Amino acid sequence: MKKVGVALLGLGTVGGGTYRILQNNHDAIMKNDGIDLEIKHIIEKDVTKAQALGADLSIVGTDIDAVVNDKDVQIVAEFFGGIEPAKSFLIKCLLAGKSIVTANKEMFSKNWVELEAAAKKGHAGLYFEASCVGGVPIIRTLTESMQGNNIRSLMGIVNGTTNFILSQMADDGLAYSDVLKEAQALGYAEANPTADVEGFDSMYKLSILSSLAFRKKVPISVIHREGISQVSKEDIEYGKMLGYTLKLLAIAKETDGKIEARVHPAFVPDSHPLASVKGSFNAVHIVGDNVGDIMLYGRGAGDLPTGSAIVSDIVFAASQPKPKYAPFKNVDKINPKDFTDNYQCKYYLRLNVRDQAGVIAKITSVFAKHNISIQSIRQVSDGETATVIFLLHKTFENDLTKAIALIEKLDCVVSCDATVRVED
């Protein structure tokens, strides 16, 4: 029987969940996987958290060096969140030859290159399944199951808070601010919701996932990011009428060797597998040149779902005869030439116009001048002014921005009230 010593850094939500799974599944893991996992250290200031879990208090402390210097510890699982002290602690552990397992998407996405270098130097492993989409095995799928594919696109709902908010807005016809309050009351959104609702959390995850999909490091600096705080219930309703569902998507595509990566609200057709992902559930949709469309769906957060991914990584790490510090070879550098921000999208455009003759002709002639082709036009309300919704074929963002500036100056146009990208 292989004995493996584990240290847990932090006993918050996921740390606590991991502790419980390791206790409850210890014997099953021993039987099925032949590994005897023993928790040797818990680094946690708040001893009451360890008490609440019934942990052996003699292994609870605050000194990371006790972990680093314990030759019986092979794996360190980190749950601090934030950049420091997580990063410094983990680099110390890696250099000391201890493999690390982390759920910390922000720290990991911002310091992957440095962590990988430390792991290589220390002959240690680097495992991060829990950093993206909780218990959904998306990292293992990208690293261990897609070797026969060039991945064309990766598109995911990777944040449960925003998906809960958008689902509630769609189901109940409520405004963003009302649903946010409800989500905060239910514990689905933080008191300060910025990291979720402005798309930062999705951006960290997209950086990790797209790097694996395209086997190139995709840093957060190349990711276009917009959140959902400007989404209106009107557009969700109009979208429904047109057969679209609004989601906050993390999108990455590779075309002719160039990667585009972006996080923003987007309409997907109701028939798209991502459209039926409701509430706090997450899903990632991948298109590979050989495998075609696949999608992985599940809980993106929570103590036990994320703890499940952490434990899976601990067992996976403990089973490797040689630590894995990099899922793919030749991807230890960031190369600015790999990326483009000059991408094309389909668009939904909502205009408020005066209800008079010739309006559509004037607007469409501006589109024509910018080579923007129209998929459909719908006039959705009457009165002194009218609402007109355009669905536009793929166009460069730059062209659209110029066209909208001209359209807004037309006498017959009161305002351009919304532009939403469409993915299908």
> Rule CB under 8 A: is residue 33 a binding residue for a copy of itself?
yes
Active-site annotation, residues: 205
We find the least distance from the C-beta atom of residue 289 to a copy of itself, in angstroms, to be 8
Q: In whole angstroms, give the CA distance from residue 340 to residue 337.
A: 8
Computed on alpha carbons and rounded to an integer, the radius of gyration of the chain in Å comes to 24
Q: Whose Cβ is closer to a copy of itself: residue 28's or residue 357's?
A: 28
The type of residue at 313 is D
| Residue from the set 52, 186, 291, 405 that interacts with a copy of itself by CB under 8 A | 291
Dmax over CA atoms of the chain, in Å, equals: 82
> Rule CB under 8 A: is residue 295 a binding residue for a copy of itself?
yes
> Rule CB under 8 A: is residue 21 a binding residue for a copy of itself?
yes
| Residue from the set 53, 95, 296, 334 that interacts with a copy of itself by CB under 8 A | 296
We find the least distance from the C-beta atom of residue 216 to a copy of itself, in angstroms, to be 10
Q: In whole angstroms, give the CA distance from residue 214 to residue 339.
A: 11
Helix intervals (H) in 254-382: 303-319, 359-369
Comparing CA positions, the residue from 277, 260, 172 lying closest to residue 216 is 260
Q: In whole angstroms, give the CA distance from residue 372 to residue 236.
A: 24
> Rule CB under 8 A: is residue 213 a binding residue for a copy of itself?
no
> Rule CB under 8 A: is residue 173 a binding residue for a copy of itself?
no
We find the least distance from the C-beta atom of residue 34 to a copy of itself, in angstroms, to be 5
Q: In whole angstroms, give the CA distance from residue 258 to residue 334.
A: 13
> Rule CB under 8 A: is residue 219 a binding residue for a copy of itself?
no
Report how far apart, in Å, the C-alpha atoms of 149 and of each of 274, 318, 325 are: 21, 28, 22
| 3-class DSSP state of 382 | coil
- Distinct helix (H) and strand (E) counts, the chain: 15, 16
We find the least distance from the C-beta atom of residue 185 to a copy of itself, in angstroms, to be 22
Binding flags for a copy of itself, 235-274, as an x/- string (CB under 8 A): ------------------------------------x-x-
We find the least distance from the C-beta atom of residue 402 to a copy of itself, in angstroms, to be 39
Q: Which stretch binds a copy of itself (CB under 8 A): 76-84, 148-156, 243-251, 261-269?
A: 148-156
Q: Residue 110: CB partners within 8 Å, gap ≥ 6?
A: 83, 204, 220
Contact 391, 348 (CB under 8 A): yes
Angle formed at CA 21 by CA 91 and CA 32, multiple of 5 degrees: 95
Report how far apart, in Å, the C-alpha atoms of 376 and of each of 161, 305, 392 are: 32, 42, 7
End-to-end CA separation in angstroms for the chain: 50
> Rule CB under 8 A: is residue 312 a binding residue for a copy of itself?
yes
Q: Whose Cβ is closer to a copy of itself: residue 57's or residue 291's?
A: 291
Binding flags for a copy of itself, 109-138, as an x/- string (CB under 8 A): --------------------x----xxxx-
Q: Whose Cβ is closer to a copy of itself: residue 268's or residue 359's?
A: 268
Neighbouring CB atoms inside 10 A of 321's CB total 4
| Residue from the set 308, 387, 395, 419 that interacts with a copy of itself by CB under 8 A | 308
| Residue from the set 5, 10, 160, 298 that interacts with a copy of itself by CB under 8 A | 298
Binding flags for a copy of itself, 372-391, as an x/- string (CB under 8 A): --------------------
We find the least distance from the C-beta atom of residue 134 to a copy of itself, in angstroms, to be 8
CB-count burial class (<10 Å; 0-12, 13-18, 19+) for 282: buried
Q: Whose Cβ is closer to a copy of itself: residue 249's or residue 353's?
A: 249
Q: Residue 89: CB partners within 8 Å, gap ≥ 6?
A: 9, 43, 64, 78, 80
Q: Which stretch binds a copy of itself (CB under 8 A): 62-70, 260-268, 307-315, 391-399?
A: 307-315
* CB burial string 157-194: b at 16+ within 10 A, e below: bbbbbbbbbbbbbbeeebebeebbeebeeeebbeeebe
Region 43-102 residues binding a copy of itself, contact defined as CB under 8 A: none
Q: Whose Cβ is closer to a copy of itself: residue 304's or residue 380's?
A: 304
Q: Whose Cβ is closer to a copy of itself: residue 150's or residue 230's?
A: 150
> Rule CB under 8 A: is residue 180 a binding residue for a copy of itself?
no
Q: Write out the residues near a copy of itself by the rule CB under 8 A.
A: 17, 21, 25, 28-29, 31-34, 129, 134-137, 140-141, 144-150, 215, 271, 273, 276, 278, 281, 288-299, 302, 304-305, 307-312, 315-316, 321-322, 328-331
